[in-house]
C-alpha cells in the first residue's frame, strides 16, 4: 500500500472513531417501537417452531442448532419471562396464553432445593405472571419456591449457598449472581407478612457487600466460606478471566441486585454499593464506545475479543431503575442505559427476523473459560433487553404525563 493510501486510511479511521465517540457522547435515542416489533417477530417464530413446552430455548449449540434445556436448568425461566413481558407491552391476550403455556412446565421446580437459581427460574416466570394476572396458583408456587431457596441459607456464613458441585474445591461457594435471586424472597415477605424471607435476603446482601467487592467496587465472582467459622476462605473466579479480574456480567449482576436490595429495604448502604458498581461499569477505561462490554473488563486485548450483550442488557435494565433512586446522578445512569439499549437495538446486536435461531440478540458470552456459549445468543440477554425496553417505555410515558 502506498504511503498516501495508508495516510488516507488512518485519517478515515480517526474520523470514524471521532464520529462514534461523539454519537455515544450524546443522549442516545432508543428505537423502542421498532425494536419491540422485531422482538415480537422473534418470539412468535420461536413459539411456532418449538412445540415441546418442556424444552426451553437457551442458546445456539456449537453445530449451529437450537440448544434447549429442561425445567431444572438455571435459565429455564427466561423464555417464559420474555413472553410475559411481551404480554405486558402489547396487552395482547395471545401473549398471555403463550406465557402461561411455557410457564406451566416449571411448576415442579418450586420444590427444587438443589439450586440457588430459583429466583431466575420461578420469579422471572411465575413472578411476572403473578404480577400481571394475580393468579393465586402462581402465588402459592412462588411462596413454596421461596421456602426451597431459604433452605440453602446458612446462619454461620450469613449467605445462601450457590453451587453444590466441586465439593473437593469449595466448602460453601457463593457467587455474585446470587444477588439476583433475592428479589423473590423480598416479595415473599411482603406477600405473606413473614419477615423471615426478607431477613435472609438482607443478611445475604450484607455478607456479599462485605466480602465480594474490592475498593473500586469491582467484584469477585466466587467467595468460598469456611463452614465452621463462617468466614471467607477464598476469593476466586469461575467464569471470569482471572481471580482478580472483573467479569462483565458479574458486575452487572451486582449492580442490578443491589439496586433491588435498596428498593426493598431503603438501606443506604445498598444504594451506595449499587451506585459504586454502576460508576465502575459505565466509566471503565476498557468499555467500548458503543457501551457493550467485552466479556471481562480485564481480559487481554485482541482483535476478536468477545463482547457480552447479556452483561449490557442486565446492566441497562438495572441502571434504569437505579436512575430513579439517584437524584442528580440519575440522569447519567439513564443516559448510559439508553446508550446500551440503543446499541443493542442496532443491527450490530439485534438479529434480523428468521435468523439467530429466533433469539433476539447476538453476541453474548456465557462461559469463556469453559469454552461454552461464546459469541452466541443466550435467553437471559433477550429477557433483560426486553425488560429494559419495557422499563424505558414506562419511564418515558411517565415523564410525558408529568409535563
157-208: pLDDT as tens digits: 999 999 998 888 899 999 999 999 999 999 999 999 999 999 999 999 999 9
Mean pLDDT on 387-392: 98
Residues forming a β-bridge with 378: 59
pLDDT of residue 17: 40
Residue 228 pLDDT > 60, yes or no?
yes
Mean pLDDT on 93-106: 98
Mean pLDDT on 86-95: 98
pTM: 0.93
Which among 326, 209, 196 has a CA at the least distance from the CA of 269? 209
> Annotated catalytic sites, by residue?
117, 177
Tens-place pLDDT, residues 326-371: 999 999 999 999 999 999 999 999 999 999 999 999 999 999 999 9
Residue 402 pLDDT > 90, yes or no?
no
CA distance 355 to 208: 40
Mean pLDDT on 214-219: 98
pLDDT of residue 1: 44
Tens-place pLDDT, residues 279-295: 999 999 999 999 999 99
Residue 224 pLDDT > 80, yes or no?
yes
Percentage of the chain beyond pLDDT 90 is 90
CATH 3.40.50.1820 fits 37-397, yes or no: no
Q: What is the mean pLDDT of the chain?
A: 93
- Band (pLDDT 50/70/90 cuts) for residue 8 is very low
- Band (pLDDT 50/70/90 cuts) for residue 27 is low
- Band (pLDDT 50/70/90 cuts) for residue 26 is low
Mean pLDDT on 120-132: 98
Contact predicate 183/260, CB 8 Å? yes
pLDDT of residue 202: 98
Mean pLDDT on 27-38: 93
Cell for 230? Answer: 463462617
- Band (pLDDT 50/70/90 cuts) for residue 16 is very low
Mean pLDDT on 5-24: 38
Domain ranges of the chain: 37-397
Residue 269 pLDDT > 60, yes or no?
yes
Amino acid at each position: 500500500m502506498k504511503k498516501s493510501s495508508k495516510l488516507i486510511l488512518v485519517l478515515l479511521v480517526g474520523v470514524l472513531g471521532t464520529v462514534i465517540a461523539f454519537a455515544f457522547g450524546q443522549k442516545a435515542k432508543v428505537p423502542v417501537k421498532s425494536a419491540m416489533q422485531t422482538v415480537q417477530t422473534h418470539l412468535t417464530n420461536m413459539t411456532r417452531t418449538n412445540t415441546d413446552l418442556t424444552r426451553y430455548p437457551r442458546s445456539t449449540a456449537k453445530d449451529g442448532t437450537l440448544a434447549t434445556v429442561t425445567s431444572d436448568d438455571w435459565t429455564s425461566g427466561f423464555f417464559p419471562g420474555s413472553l410475559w413481558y411481551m404480554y405486558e407491552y402489547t396487552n395482547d391476550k395471545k401473549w398471555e396464553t403463550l406465557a402461561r403455556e411455557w410457564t406451566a412446565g416449571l411448576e415442579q421446580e418450586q420444590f427444587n432445593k438443589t439450586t440457588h437459581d430459583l429466583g431466575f427460574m420461578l420469579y422471572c416466570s411465575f413472578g411476572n405472571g403473578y404480577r400481571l394476572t394475580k393468579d393465586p396458583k402462581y402465588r402459592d408456587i412462588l411462596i413454596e419456591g421461596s421456602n426451597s431457596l431459604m433452605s440453602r441459607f446458612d446462619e454461620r456464613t450469613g449467605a445462601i449457598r450457590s453451587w453444590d458441585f466441586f465439593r473437593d474445591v469449595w466448602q460453601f461457594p457463593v457467587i455474585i449472581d446470587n444477588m439476583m435471586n433475592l428479589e423473590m424472597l423480598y416479595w415473599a415477605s411482603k406477600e405473606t407478612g413473614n419477615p423471615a424471607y426478607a431477613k435472609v435476603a438482607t443478611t445475604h446482601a450484607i455478607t456479599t457487600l462485605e466480602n465480594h467487592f474490592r475498593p473500586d467496587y469491582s467484584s469477585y465472582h466466587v467467595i468460598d466460606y469456611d463452614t465452621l467459622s463462617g468466614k471467607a476462605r477464598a476469593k476466586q473466579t469461575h467464569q471470569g478471566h482471572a481471580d482478580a479480574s472483573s467479569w462483565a456480567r458479574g458486575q452487572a449482576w451486582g449492580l442490578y441486585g443491589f439496586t433491588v436490595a435498596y428498593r426493598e429495604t431503603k438501606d443506604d448502604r445498598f444504594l451506595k454499593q449499587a451506585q459504586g458498581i454502576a460508576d465502575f461499569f459505565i466509566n471503565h477505561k476498557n468499555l467500548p464506545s458503543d457501551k457493550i462490554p467485552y466479556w471481562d473488563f480485564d481480559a487481554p486485548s485482541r482483535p476478536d475479543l468477545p463482547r457480552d450483550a447479556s452483561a449490557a442488557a442486565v446492566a441497562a435494565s438495572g441502571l434504569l431503575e437505579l436512575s430513579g433512586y439517584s437524584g442528580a446522578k440519575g440522569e447519567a445512569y439513564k443516559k448510559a442505559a439508553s446508550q446500551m439499549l440503543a446499541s443493542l437495538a442496532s443491527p450490530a446486536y439485534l438479529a434480523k427476523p428468521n435468523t439467530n435461531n429466533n433469539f433476539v440478540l447476538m453476541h453474548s458470552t456465557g462461559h469463556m473459560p469453559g469454552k461454552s456459549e461464546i459469541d452466541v445468543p443466550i435467553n437471559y440477554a433477550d429477557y433483560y433487553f426486553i425488560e429494559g425496553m419495557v422499563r424505558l417505555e414506562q419511564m418515558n410515558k411517565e415523564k410525558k404525563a408529568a409535563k
